[in-house]
Chain A
Amino acid sequence: MNAPFISTRRDILRYGAAGGALIIAAPLGACSRAAKDAPFIEPPSLQWFEGAVGPFIVIKADETIEMGFPNPDMGQGVDTALPMLVAEELEVDFDKVKTVQMPLGIKMGDDGNMTWKHVPQGSGGSTSIPENWEVLRQAGALARGLLVSAAAVRFGVPAEELTVAKGVVTHEASGRSATYGALAEAAGSIAPPDAPPALKPREAFTIIGTPQKMKNARAIVTGRAIYGIDAALPGMLHAVMERCPYFDGTAISVDDSAARAVPGVVDVVKVRRPPLGEPYDVQAEGYAVVATSLWAAMKGRRALNIEWDHGPYADESSASFKRHCADLLAGTGQIVRDDGDFDAAFAGAAETYEATYWEPYVSHAPLEPQNALADVREDGVTIIAPTQTPSSCNRMVAEALQRERLDIEVLPTRLGGGFGRRLSNDYAVEAALISQTVKAPVKLLWTREDDLRHDFYRPAGMHHLKAAFDADGKLTGWTHRLASASKYYRRPNLPESEYWTSEFWDDDFPANIAENYRLEYFSARSGAPRGSWRAPAHTANAFVVQSFLNEIAHQRGEDPLGFRLRLLGDPRDIPYKNHGGPVFNPGRLAACLRLAAEKGGYGETMPKGRGRGIAGHFTFGGYCAQVVDVEVGEDGRLKTTRVVAAVDIGTVVNPNGVVAQLESGVNDGLSTALRLAIEVDGGRVTTGNFDTYPLMKIADAPPVIETHIIDNGDAPSGMGEMGIPPLAPALAHAIFEATGKRIRTLPIADQLRG
């Protein structure tokens, strides 16, 4: 990784003493105002920021050690894994460390553009660990160096004679020692070192690589963890909002008289939609009912009488969109990658194969519905919200309100799930626009129906794959033709010719392995908003590519594992310019496949009605293979009985967190493959709640999930997404082995019945 040394120049990483505490931080500036002047209701995650204390590390005289984690935690465990990086170098007992979400820190850079005040603070793309791997260890090392220097001064001995362990600095020759708490204030006045602090070699790690439980678990199991939905400000009003259900529709008439008559309702505020085809700030036109209580706002919303125009996509349905994709695939699309001569390879092949697959729109459906608390004032703006991208939230709110970005403080809370939904900050913009109008702090809450009907869905699409093999069994040609509704629709300044870049990772396997390799894209028209859904494009494409491999192997009479291993070939670095690069090593994926196969007993003969499948995929720098066991009853009832996974993400920071994320990916992949699809009819989403969007319950979850980790010492990559992509194709393979039925359409739903 190329993360820069944390400069000890005080404009980048400040430290100092305050109230007897050593603070390795930057002063919070804008963020201190809200904490001081506007107490929240029971906000343990925010009280910490009172005064000018800051992120990363606070060591107090009473030996309390607190660490800020920069990236929002949505369940992926950065509240634990990131402070582990700091604690490793700081040499403290990790059990005693308290961890706290950092507020957003941005500043005006020397070039006049906004930049990070500390480190990047988004959670997405499995980047939190790799981006912070160097910088947070450096923060810990810097703090340790200052504490050692303070001890050296106190003891009157050279710093080289001191040792450090578990928050105590010791001079063994004289038997003297001092705790970090006792040294903290003095350490805050020590001059910065001239050179970057040396980081520990891997062999010396005592915290990194050890399984650590989630730091906030106790707050969660006692109901004290604070999410966005729980935040409050004095004088806060509540809002709920009726949005146009039709894609890009608008109101024809609005009668809000009955809503305004509901006791407690103080206003009804129109929120405009963005112009057609323009980037989303909010998603849809809506009418927010603002009241003194949430219940009054909800009753007021029910009393609204709005007639909606059905918008420019009034004829769109799930079926019409699927037909549209099939029609597109019948023609010729945009050739976006064309290695060699696929047509010639196909024409001259000894054997050819092809198959077509369909994947629907799916929703993120985090269990905490969207919400935001906005306080738009003359002197500034405060946004408290569950967001994966607090900086983007800041920018979008600034643009919507026509305010300076530095006037807007963003306090991300813990997220009740993200999955990519909260990369978009439309709900925060809505809250800000409403607060601006009513001139009071406003807490906006979405219902579940709002969430499922106004998501930025995982793009739906139809995939057509063809492969060519020569007489020696060598893969000579491969094409992937995809008609989908790109998530890059409505990106600022992005021509349609670039829409494919969000739907294909064009260096994915078997690119650079199949000599004649072609990707062909068809940009489909749909009114449904689209966005990034956990492991974007990877979940969709791994299903079809890995399923196709299993189909080809079966038709060729080859074992699907051996077939994959011979296509992957020897370990070597293949250039990979997409996110997760710069290289893809097929040997690492092969090693995962072999390990999962070995641990999962792949290849054993299964009894009737049972099947075992396999798949593997490279996602954002991480390699993962899974062996899935299923049992299919004579009535078609499907039970996933076991998943065995092997993962390689380089150096592992928190093995317990890696296992948790793998389990999460398996269950997310399974839930989505089993029953999930967003249905569209008449230009609107008709799916409404968990009865029609049945997220998986425990009865369908595999009772056994095994995770086997290959820790090869390489630089770490992230774990939040790579557990999902192999699941659906391995599941489909297992179903085929059990029943002889190929799943080429997701979700599986009732395809196994009858």
Chain B
Amino acid sequence: MPRFKVNGRRVDYSGDPDMPLLWFLRDEQGLKGVKFGCGAALCGACTVHVNGEAVRSCVTPMASVEGASVTTIEGLSDGDTLHPVQEAWLEEDVPQCGYCQAGQIMAVAAFLEKTPNPTDADIDDGLTNICRCGTYHRLRKAVHRAAAMRGGRSS
């Protein structure tokens, strides 16, 4: 029976160990900010943090998160104080339909931990989430803005 943390809260799970984490978060935890886009780790709409790493929860079996700490978009901000990446997203007014954006933000938040001062080439190599609306132009600006807001540091 995997026990792990979701957004700082302890949870137990006794169901099918093969079920992807995505469905546990959405359907059993009510964390609907985690989105389903492809089911094959190709689009990144389902991106969450597992022990601080960006993972695609649609292909992450429940059996693999034993003891882990999972953070979703709902747990990224500190109460009403948004994460710098969320702030940068609002400043640059990135979203259109918005469906991919929670996954984008989670991917970028983890990316900036490892690459606090990304170049455009770093962004091209490191960010592979799909935005069907094509917000990439603003998204790139928001990544740079978030990096500047964070002062170029890992937290």
Contact = CB atoms under 8 A, between A and B. Distances in A.
Interface in B70-116: 72-74, 77, 82, 86, 89-90, 93-102, 105
B140 A695 contact: no
A351 to B, nearest CB: 39
A689 B27 contact: no
A74 interface: yes
Contact of B32 (A42, A696, A701): A42
A414 interface: yes
Contact of B130 (A224, A445, A668, A695): A695
Interface string A689-711: 11100011111011111000000
Which 8 residue pairs spanning A and B have beta carbons closest together? Answer: A223-B33, A667-B134, A75-B97, A416-B99, A75-B96, A223-B73, A220-B98, A701-B136
B132 A417 contact: yes
A366 B136 CA distance: 16
B123 interface: yes
B135 A222 contact: no
A205 interface: no
B138 interface: yes
Interface string A49-74: 00000000000000000000000011
Contact of A698 (B16, B27, B139): B139
A697 B130 contact: yes
Given A227-B99, A415-B97, A221 B43 contact: no
B100 to A, nearest CB: 5
Nearest to A691: B42
A213 to B, nearest CB: 4
Given A368-B35, A663-B137, A293 B27 contact: yes
23 contacts: A75-B95, A75-B96, A213-B93, A214-B96, A221-B86, A221-B94, A221-B95, A222-B77, A225-B98, A226-B32, A229-B35, A293-B23, A299-B16, A367-B100, A368-B99, A414-B97, A445-B36, A448-B37, A660-B93, A664-B96, A666-B134, A695-B130, A696-B134
A218 B90 contact: yes
Interface of A: 41-42, 73-77, 213-214, 216-218, 220-227, 229-230, 293-295, 299, 365-369, 414-419, 445, 447-448, 656, 660, 663-668, 670-671, 689-691, 695-699, 701-705
B51 to A, nearest CB: 20
Contacts of A214: 93, 95-96
Contacts of A663: 134-135, 137-138
Interface string B112-127: 0000000010011101
A77 B93 CA distance: 11
A295 B23 contact: yes
Nearest to A74: B97
Contacts of B93: 213-214, 217, 656, 660
Given A223-B32, A295-B16, A368-B35, A417 B134 contact: no
Contacts of B129: 697
Given A221-B86, A698-B124, A702-B137, A367 B99 contact: yes
Given A671-B134, A697-B130, A229 B96 contact: no
B139 to A, nearest CB: 7
B54 interface: no
Contacts of B132: 365-367, 417, 419, 695
Interface secondary structure of B, over-half rule: loop
B68 interface: no
B109 to A, nearest CB: 11
B133 interface: yes
B31 interface: yes
A294 B32 CA distance: 14
A463 B74 CA distance: 50
B128 interface: yes
Classify chain B's interface size.
35 or more
Nearest to B125: A699
Centre residue among B30, B97, B133 by max chain A CB count within 10 A: B97
Contact of B101 (A76, A221, A665, A689): A221
Contacts of B35: 227, 229, 367-368, 416
A699 B34 CA distance: 24
Interface of B: 15-16, 19, 23, 27, 30-40, 42-43, 45, 72-74, 77, 82, 86, 89-90, 93-102, 105, 120, 123-125, 127-140
A448 B131 CA distance: 15
Given A221-B102, A656-B93, 14 more contacts: A217-B89, A217-B90, A220-B95, A221-B101, A222-B82, A227-B35, A366-B97, A367-B35, A367-B130, A415-B97, A417-B133, A664-B133, A667-B134, A667-B136
Nearest to A299: B16
Contacts of B123: 698
B120 A417 contact: no
A699 B136 CA distance: 9
A53 B100 CA distance: 32
A447 B132 CA distance: 16
Nearest to B43: A690
A71 to B, nearest CB: 14
A448 B40 contact: yes
Given A222-B77, A367-B45, A416 B97 contact: yes
A225 B95 CA distance: 11
Nearest to A298: B23
A42 B43 contact: no
Contacts of A367: 35, 37, 43, 45, 97, 99-100, 130-132
A701 B90 contact: no
Contacts of A229: 32, 35-36
Contact of A668 (B40, B73, B134, B140): B134
Nearest to A667: B134
B65 to A, nearest CB: 15
A222 B33 contact: yes
Contact of B95 (A41, A217, A294): A217
Contacts of A666: 134
B14 to A, nearest CB: 13
A664 B99 contact: no
A372 to B, nearest CB: 15
Contacts of A698: 123-124, 127-128, 131, 136, 139-140
